[in-house]
Structure 1
Amino acid sequence: MLNGKPHSRAGSLPQLFAVFIFTVFLSGCMVGPDYQKPAIELPMSFKEGTQWQRAVANPQGALDSQWWLDYHDPILTDLVQRSAKANQSIIAAEAAYRLAQAQVASSRAGLWPTVGVGLSGSRGVGASGSNTSGVAGGGSGGVEQSVSAILSASWEPDLWGAVRRSIESSQASAQGSDALLAGVRLSISASVASNYLGLRQLDIDIGLLEQQQRINLQLLNMIQVDFVQGTASNDQLLVAQDQLTTVVAALQTAERSREQFEHALAVLVGVAPADFTLPPKSAYTFVLPIPPLALPSALLQRRPDVVAAERSAAAANARIGVAEAAFFPTLDLTAEVGFRGTALGGLFSLPNRIWTLGPALAETLFDGGAREAAVQQARASYDQDAANYRGTVLGALQNVEDNLSAINHLQRQAEAFDQIYQRNQQLFGSQEAQKRAGTVSQQAVLTQQLVLLQAEQSLRDTQGALSQGSVALIQSLGGGWQTL
C-alpha cells in the first residue's frame, strides 16, 4: 500500500506504470476454446424432390416474413396483426429478450472500474480517559472528531478473458432469445392461420351438411309416405332415418369444432372468447401458395429453433473459457483520493489531502477440485448443447420432409376428389334431365344430389387440409420462402 506523502510518490509511479503496462498486455489474452459451429452433414436435396443448396446459419435470419399475405384474405391478415400486438406469449417472449439484453449490458460492465464517493464524520471519547464536562479539550482523554471525503476506484483487469467470455456467452444467449422470440411470433401467426383456415373449412362443411340434412329429411318424408302406402319396406324407412340422424350428428360435430376454433382465435388475438365472433363464409375459396422448385437452405437455417439451438451451443462454448479463467491469478487495482481532518471547515485544504494506490494479486492454491469440476461441467454443457443443435437440425429436416410429403399427397388426393366431383356433377345433371323426361323419380334425383354434396365435401375438405398443410410447410421453413 502506498500513501500520499510526496517523498514516496516519485519512486512508486514508475512501478505502478510498469504494472499498468503489464496489465494491458495480459488483458489481450483469452483462455478457453474459440467457437466453431458444431459440424453436421446436410443432404444436398430434400427426399421429396425439392432441391436446395447449403447455407450458413445466420442469427439475424430468424426474422420472419409476412407470408400470410400470400393467402389474400384481409380477415386473416388482420387477425395475424392483432395477435402480434396482443398475444400474451409474444409479450412474455419479448420480456425474456429484454432480460437477455440486460444480461449482456451487465456482463459488459465487468470490463470497467467501479468508482465510488463517500463523506463520513465521527465524534467520540479518546482511549486515554474521559471528559466529563462534555467540552472538547486538548488532553489525550478528550473528545475526538474526524471528518473525511474520499473518492475511491477499483478495477479488476480482465487478464484471462473471463469477462469477455462472459460477454460472448451473454451475447449468444441474447441472440438465442431473439430467435426464440421470432419462433413464438412464427408459432402464433401459424396457429392463427391454421385455426382460421380450419374454421373456414368447417363453414363449408356446415353449409354442405345443412343441405344434406334438408335432402335427407325430404327423402325420409317420401319414404314415410311410400311406407304408409305399402310401396316401401320398414327397412328402407329405418335406413332413411339412420341417414338423417348421421347427418344431424355430423353437423353437431362440425358446429362444435367451429366454435372451438373461434375460441382459440380469440385467445390468440388476446381477447375473451365471449367478445370475439367471426361471421361464417360457406362460399370460402382456399388459396394455396406454391413454393418454388428450389428452396434455399437459408430458409431452413433461419428456423428460430435451429438458430436458438446453435446460439445456445455458442453460449456454452464461451462459458468454458469463463471456467478455465478461474485457474489463473486475479489482479485487483484500487485507488483512493480525498481529504481527512478533524473539522469540516478547512477539510479541503492541501495538508488534509490523502491518496493511496494498491495493486493486489491473488491466486487460489487449493479448492478441493472445484475449478476442475466447473470446467468439466462447462464442457459437458457444451457437448449437450452441440448435440441438441444437431438434433434440432435433423428434426427440422424431418419436419420439412413430412410437410412436403403431406402436400404432395394432398394435391393428388384433391385432384382425385375433383375428378369424382366433376363426374357426379354430370350424373346429377343426367338425373335431372331424366326427371324432366319422366324416366326417373324425384327420389332418385335427391339421392344423386346427396352423392354430389358428399363428393363436394370431400373435395373442399381436402382443399382446406392442403391450405393448412401449406401453413405447416411455411412454419417448418422458418416463416416463408421469399428471397432473403
Structure 2
Amino acid sequence: MKIVSLFVPPFTPFASPEPSAHARRGLPPSRPRRLFQHSVALAAMLCLTACAVGPDYRTPSTEVPQNFKEGANWQRAQANPQASLASDWWQMYHDDKLTELVEQSQKANQSIAAAEAAYRTALAIVQANQAQLFPMISADLSATRSRTPAGGAASGSATGSLTPGISNNFIAGVSASWELDLWGAIRRQVESAKSTAQATDAQLAGQRLSIAASVAIDYFELRQADIDIQLLEQQKDINSRILYMTQEAYRQGQASNDQVLVAQDNLENSIADLQTTQIAREQDEHAIAVLLGVPPANFSIAPDLTYSFAIPEVPLGVPSELLQRRYDVVAAERTAASANALIGVAEAAFFPTVTLSASGGFQHNTFANLFSLPNRFWTLGPDLAQTIFDGGARTAAVREARATYDQDVATYRNTVLTAFQTVEDSLSSVNHLRQQTQSFADILQRNQQLFASSNAQFDAGAASQQDVLTQQLTLLLAQQNLNDTQGLLAQSSVALIRNLGGGWDYKDMQTASDNSAPSRAPAGEPTSNQPTSTPTPPPR
C-alpha cells in the first residue's frame, strides 16, 4: 500500500438554523460560502491523495506445454494448424438440419436464458457499486398542520408552554452525502464486480457452447441410430429366415436341436439389440427437444436412412490459446481476480472513513413566504469515523479474503490442467477412431467381396442359401461397425471443438467491451487484467 500524507486544515462545522446577519442586511452569506469552498477543497485534496489498499492483481502463473502430446501427427496433417474455429462451427458439418437445430437451441434454450439473466444481474451489480463513487443527493418537500391545546406543555421551549391554536409548517430542503473513497474500498468493490461480470459472461459463452455441442452430439447419435435400426431390422429378418430353415432341416433330420436353439438365440439377440437402439433413438430425440426448449411430445425428427457423417478438419492451434479460448479457464481466472480485489476491500476497513454531508432549504408557516432568503436553513460539515475495537473481526475478514483468493487460484490452475487433459483426450479419441474407421471400411470392403463370392457359389450350386444368408449377416455387421465408428468419430470431433473453446475468444469479449457492446462484455472492463500465457508470480 502506498503511504500518503494528508494535511487537513482546521475546520469547524457550522450550522445555522437562523438567517445570518449578512442575510438580514441583504448581504451575501460569506461564511457559509467560505465553509463550502473549504469543504470542496478538502474533498478534492483527499481524492487526489487517495490510494487503493490491497494487492494489485496479476494473472496466476501456470505451466503451459508448447504442443499437445496427442496432437503431433494431427498438427502435421493440417494445412493450417494455426487457424481459428468459427463461432458457427456446426456449419462445418454441412447439415442443414443440424444447423437449424443448433440455431434454434441458441434462441430458446432455458439454460442459456438463465445464464443471460445471471449476466445481466452481474452487470447491474457493477453499476450499483459504481454508483457508490458519487454523492447521494435527495430532496424533500413536506407540509404539516397541527393543533396545540390550551395549556399544553412544550418540551424544550423557552417559555415552557405553547401557544394554543392551529399552526402550519412548510419545509423544502435538499441534502447531499458523499463518502470519500480514500482507501479504495469502493474502487476495489467495483473491480471485483467487474471481474465477476466477466466471469459470468464467460459462463454464458460456455453455456451456449455446451448447448450447441449437446445438440450436435445427440443429433449424431440419433442419425447413427437411424442407420443401425435399418441394419438391425435386416439382421432380424435374416435371422428369422435362418431359424425357419434350421427348423425345417431339424424336422427332416438334417439339423440338430442345438442348431435350432442357436438360431433362436441369434434371432432374439437381434430383436433385443433393435429394441435397445430404438430406445436410444427416442431418448436422443427427447433430449434434443428439451435443448430446443419444446416439450418432447411436440417434437420429432424424421429418420434419414441414407445419412452420411461428415468429419471436418478441426484447426488445433497451440496449448497457450486455451487460456483465452476456454470459457471455464477464463471464468476461473476472472473469479480469482474478483477475489483479489476483495482483499483490498477487507484491508480498507482498518482505515477511517470520511463522509461529507450538506443540507439546506427553507422553512416557514406559510407556503407563500416559504422561498424567501430569511427563511432558509443549512448544515454543512464532514464526518470522520474510525473503528477502535472489533474483537479481531477485520483481521479475520482479511484472512478470509486471502484464503478465498488462494482457493480460487488453485481452482484456476486445476481448471487449466483439466482443459489440457480434455483436449488431449479428445485428440486421442479422434486419432484412434480415424484409424478404426479405416479398418472397419477395409473389413466392409472384404465382406462385400465375400458376399458377392457366396452369391456366385450359390448360383453355381456350390453353396446353400443358408450360407449366403450367414455371409449377409456378417456383411450387415461390418456395415453396422463402420456406421457406429463414423458416428462416434463425428461425436468426438464435436467434443474436440467444445474442448478447444468452440470459436469463442476472451479477446473478442474485451473488444466488444471497448466498443461498448451492451449485450456482451461488462461496461468499464479493465484492460490490464486479461489472462495471458506468460507466467507471472501471484500476489502475496
Q: TM-score, normalised by structure 1?
A: 0.92
Instruction: Kindly state the Cα deviation for residue 18 of structure 1 after the two structures are TM-superposed.
Output: 3.7
1:380-391 equivalence runs, <5 A: 380-391=403-414
1:88 to 110, 117, 135: 110
Change (3 A) 1:13 1:141: same
1:119 partner amino acid = L
Residue number among 140, 143, 153 corresponding to 1:118 in the alignment: 140
Aligned equivalent of 1:405: 428
User: Tell me, which stretches of 5 or more residues in structure 2 are unaligned?
Assistant: 1-12, 21-28, 76-84, 154-160, 509-540
Q: State the alpha-carbon separation in 1 of the partners of residues 468 and 217 from structure 2.
A: 37
Describe the shift of the 1:99–1:259 C-alpha distance in structure 2 as closer, same or farther (beyond 3 A).
same
Secondary structure of the residue aligned to 1:3 is strand
Could you list the per-position Cα deviations for residues 219-256 of structure 1 after superposition, in whole angstroms to 9, with x for gaps in the alignment? 11211221111111111111111111110111111111
The answer (yes or no) to whether the contact 1:64–1:478 under 8 Å persists in 2 is no
After superposition, what is the alpha-carbon deviation per residue over 1:291-314, rounded to whole angstroms, capped at 9, x for unaligned?
246446325532111111011001
Which residues of 2 match residues 9-24 of structure 1 at below 5 A? 9=32, 12-13=35-36, 15-24=38-47
Q: Distance in 2 between matches of 1:216 and 1:243?
A: 6
Cα deviation, residue 436, structure 1:
1.5
- 2:239 corresponds to which letter in structure 1? N
Q: Is the 8 A contact 2:71 2:424 kept in 1?
A: no
Superposed displacement of residue 14, structure 1: 5.2
Deviations 1:251-271 (A, max 9, x none): 111111111111111111111
Change (3 A) 1:113 1:300: closer
Q: 1:310 aligns with which of 311, 314, 333?
A: 333
CA contact (8 A) 2:235 2:270 kept: yes
Q: Match for 1:429 among 435, 446, 452?
A: 452
Equivalents in 2 of 1:300, 1:460: separation in Å? 36
* Identity score, percent: 56
Structure 1 residue identity aligned to 2:65: P
Hey, what's the Cα distance between the residues in 2 that align with 1:127 and 1:24?
Answer: 53
- Where do residues 287-302 of structure 1 align in structure 2 (5 Å cutoff)? 287-292=310-315, 294-295=317-318, 297-299=320-322, 301-302=324-325
Q: Which moved more, 1:407-416 or 1:381-390?
A: 407-416
Hey, what's the Cα distance between the residues in 2 that align with 1:327 and 1:259? Answer: 62
Do the aligned partners of 1:2 and 1:8 also contact (CA within 8 Å) in 2?
Answer: no
- Displacement, 1:22? 2.2
CA shift for structure 1 position 127: 10
Report the 3-state secondary structure (helix = DSSP H, G, I; strand = E; otherwise coil) of the residue aligned with 2:350.
Answer: coil
Q: Deviations over 1:340-371 (max 9, x none)?
A: 12221211011112222111111111111111
> Which residues in structure 2 correspond to 1:78-477 (within 5 Å)?
78-124=100-146, 129-130=151-152, 141-143=163-165, 144-292=167-315, 294-295=317-318, 297-299=320-322, 301-477=324-500
Shift of 1:443: 1.2
Q: Shift of the alpha carbon at 1:17?
A: 4.2
Instruction: Decide whether the 8 Å contact of 1:64 with 1:186 is kept in 2.
Output: no
Q: Using the TM superposition, give the Cα deviation of residue 140 of structure 1 relative to its aligned residue in structure 2, in angstroms.
A: 5.0
Instruction: Tell me how far apart the structure 2 counterparts of residues 351 and 376 of structure 1 sit (CA, whole Å).
Output: 56
CA distance in 1, matches of 2:181, 2:109: 42
Quote the Cα distance in structure 2 between the aligned partners of 1:386 and 1:310.
7
Contact 1:193–1:471 (CA under 8 A) maintained in structure 2: yes
Kindly provide the amino acid, as one letter, of the partner of residue 382 in structure 1: Y
Residue identity opposite 1:49 in structure 2: G
1:177-225: CA deviations, max 9, x gaps?
A: 0111111111111110010100111111101011111111111121122
Q: Which runs of 5+ in 1 are unaligned?
A: 53-62, 132-138
Distance of 2:37 and 2:451 partners within structure 1: 105
- Secondary structure at the residue paired with 1:49? helix
Correspondence list, 1:39-78, <5 A: 39-50=61-72, 65-78=87-100
The DSSP-based 3-state class of the residue aligned with 1:479 is: coil
Q: Deviations over 1:65-102 (max 9, x none)?
A: 11111111111111111111111111111111110010
Report the equivalent of 1:57: none
Contact 1:64-1:182 within 8 A present in 2 as well: no
Does the CA contact (< 8 Å) of 2:168 and 2:366 recur in 1? yes
Letter in 2 for 1:72: H
Corresponding residue for 2:157?
A: none
Q: Which amino acid aligns with 1:312?
A: T
Are 1:299 and 1:480, in contact at CA under 8 Å, matched by a contact in 2?
Answer: no
**Residues 361 and 472 (structure 1 numbering): CA distance in 2 closer, same or farther, change over 3 Å?**
same
* Structure 1 pair 313–128 and aligned structure 2 pair: CA distance change class (3 A): farther
| Residue pair 2:174, 2:360 contacting (<8 A) in 1 also | yes
Identify if the C-alpha distance between structure 1 residues 176 and 442 changes in structure 2 by more than 3 Å, giving closer, same or farther. Answer: same
Determine the C-alpha separation between the residues in 1 that align with 2:262 and 2:241.
Answer: 14
Segment drifting more, 144-153 vs 391-400: 144-153
SS in 2 for 1:117: strand
Separation in 1 of the partners of 2:278 and 2:419?
Answer: 35
> Which residue is equivalent to 1:3?
15
Correspondence 1:37 to 2:59: yes
Alpha-carbon deviation of 1:386? 0.6
Is the Cα–Cα contact under 8 Å of residues 64 and 319 in structure 2 kept in the other structure? no
Aligned 8 A contact 1:32 1:320 in 2: yes
Q: 8 Å contact 1:220–1:240 — kept in the other structure?
A: yes
> 2:116 corresponds to which letter in structure 1?
E
The 3-state SS of whatever aligns with 1:48 is helix
CA 1:299/1:14 → structure 2, altered by over 3 Å: closer, same or farther?
closer
* Residue pair 2:66, 2:320 contacting (<8 A) in 1 also: no
C-alpha separation in 2, matches of 1:248 and 1:419: 27
- Alpha-carbon contact 2:349-2:394 (below 8 Å) kept: yes
User: What SS is found at the alignment partner of 2:390?
Assistant: coil
User: 1:348/1:261 Cα in 2 relative to 1: closer, same or farther (>3 Å)?
Assistant: same
The question of whether the paired residues in 1 share the 8 Å contact of 2:67 and 2:319 is answered with: no
Deviations 1:434-479 (CA, angstroms, capped at 9, x unpaired)? 1111211111111111101111111111111111011111111111
Which amino acid is 1:88 matched to? Q
CA distance in 2: counterparts of 1:373 and 1:248, whole angstroms: 67
Counterpart of 1:193, as a letter, is: A
Alpha carbons of 1:32 and 1:406: their partners in 2 closer, same or farther (altered >3 Å)? same
Distance between the aligned counterparts of 1:322 and 1:242, measured in 2? 72
